[in-house]
Structure 1
Amino acid sequence: MTHPQDLAAKLLQARRTHTLLDPASLTSCTPANADEAYLVQQLVLDELGGCAGYKIGAKSPTAEPQCSPLPTTKVFGAATGIRRGDYAFIGLELEIAFSFSEDVDHRLSERPDEVIDAIDAMSVVVEVVDSRFENWRKADPLLQLADLQNNGALVIGDTRPYDRNFDFSTPTVSFFYGDQPIFQGAARHPAGDPRRLIAWLVARTLETGHSIPARTVLTTGSYTPFYLATGPGIVRGTIEGFGKIEFEIK
């Protein structure tokens, strides 16, 4: 990819107009590796007004994680809800997010156990999945990574103090769109214990000489199947022993 600015500009235009790009037309813009995709992410984020958090994910307990910043303008409390007209489509995923009470910088060890012990709060959240690509599931994974890993928004529900003894790997959850059940029962996180993703992000951030501001929202991947919402409705999710989220798609 010779000019990352070209792909960033196309992604920004697609976001503003809620139109979809044909991935086949972007051969010359496709990142060659993850580093190039992360560069495009940053160019997009700079135009969207800054970062309120990160989404982090891994496809298995041993897979290398990937991350994407969450634009400040696309992180909402549940009471705010979201508007259908702001997205090309609306996919829903129930997740857990974490945050720190203080800035994460060189003063915090890169040792995973110490990073995890420093977590201060955890929240029930729903990621709104959106894309700037036609047939997005078949788009080059590096294009998806450049496109903020298909992020549309993050909606935050109940938040409580961090409980290190909670079962983050296999909690019992329920997730509904209106009266339609999306998932009910014992869930399994694809990354195993999602807190390992927090440790990975902190190590990556400190390695590059950057920091993570206090209360940055760090969401860690879905416990539930992807669900495509159609029409207005109420989204409701519960993680037993933890908390709930409820918000409106208007």
Structure 2
Amino acid sequence: MSNAQELAARIVQARSTRTLIDAGSVESCKPASADEAYVVQQLVLDKLGGCAGYKIGAGSPSAVPQCAPLPSTRVFGAAAGIRGDEYARIGLELEIAFSFAEDIDHRLSEQADEVIDAIDTMSVVVEVVDSRFDAWPNVDPLLQLADLQNNGALVIGDSLPYDRGFDFSAPHVSFYCGSHEIFQGAARHPAGDPRRLIAWLVARTLETGHSIPARTVLTTGSYTPLYMATGPGVVRGMVEGIGKVEFEIR
């Protein structure tokens, strides 16, 4: 068994048994690069039953993005809510996701402007942040990347046709968990304009000879601080000009 296969097996086991991994116990099979972490991601996804989307992020407007697939079993409509006992921890982040109406393949130019113009919808979503490692967030970044970049689930709220004139860099948002206000006001996206992350993912995908199926959900990082939920409650988020997302943690 290769190092990538060994690490992927440990991550899949942790997901299925809801037990956490001691990062020290996988030191010998830790990825040495982002490319190796992406190999682990694919091995994990193959065991989880397919991909419904991608999360993409960057820590600054000039940082190189990273991505992770979203397992189809962990992408939900808001009406479904989530079960708290299915996660080791429940971190909450309010994001905007995008999708394309048609498959994205070699017929689309890799030019960023053309990719962005092809976007069809924008949606208000909440990412549930979780990790399979017990010491998280104090875990090697490459292990986190291999672990689907700490994705637990994605909950999808309202969607609208894409508006290229919308201010994606600093929208007005509000975000609550129960009665606790997580954030309200003009938000700043860490990557600047998050649409650049969509262009990056498309270029990366086309370079590897793959495609992005129509309606694949592409979420682009949080506008709000990470909030750790401590029990059941109702999560409410709003992005002014797009809509809201509301769901229950049971």
Aligned to 2:54: 54
Question: What displacement does 1:3 show?
Answer: 2.0
SS, match of residue 138 in structure 1:
coil
SS, match of residue 137 in structure 1:
coil
Question: Could you tell me the TM-score, scaled by structure 2's length?
Answer: 0.99
SS, match of residue 8 in structure 1:
helix
Aligned to 2:226: 226
Aligned to 2:147: 147
Structure 1 segment 163-182 matched on structure 2, within 5 A: 163-182=163-182
Aligned to 1:202: 202
Cα deviation code 1:128-172 (max 9, x no counterpart): 000000121111100000000000000000011000000000001
Question: Could you tell me the TM-score, scaled by structure 1's length?
Answer: 0.99
Aligned to 1:244: 244
Aligned to 1:73: 73
- Check the 8 A contact 2:121/2:161 in 1, yes or no: yes
Aligned to 1:96: 96
- Check the 8 A contact 2:3/2:30 in 1, yes or no: no
**Residue type at the aligned position of 2:47:** E
Aligned to 2:211: 211
Question: What displacement does 1:2 show?
Answer: 4.7
| Identity across the alignment (%) | 77
Question: What displacement does 1:100 show?
Answer: 0.2
C-alpha separation between the residues in 1 aligned to 2:62 and 2:135? 28
Count of equivalent residues: 250
SS, match of residue 152 in structure 1:
strand
SS, match of residue 95 in structure 1:
strand
- Displacement over 2 Å in runs of 4+: none
Aligned to 1:130: 130
Aligned to 1:25: 25
Structure 2, gaps ≥5 residues long: none
C-alpha separation between the residues in 1 aligned to 2:153 and 2:238? 19
**Residue type at the aligned position of 1:11:** I
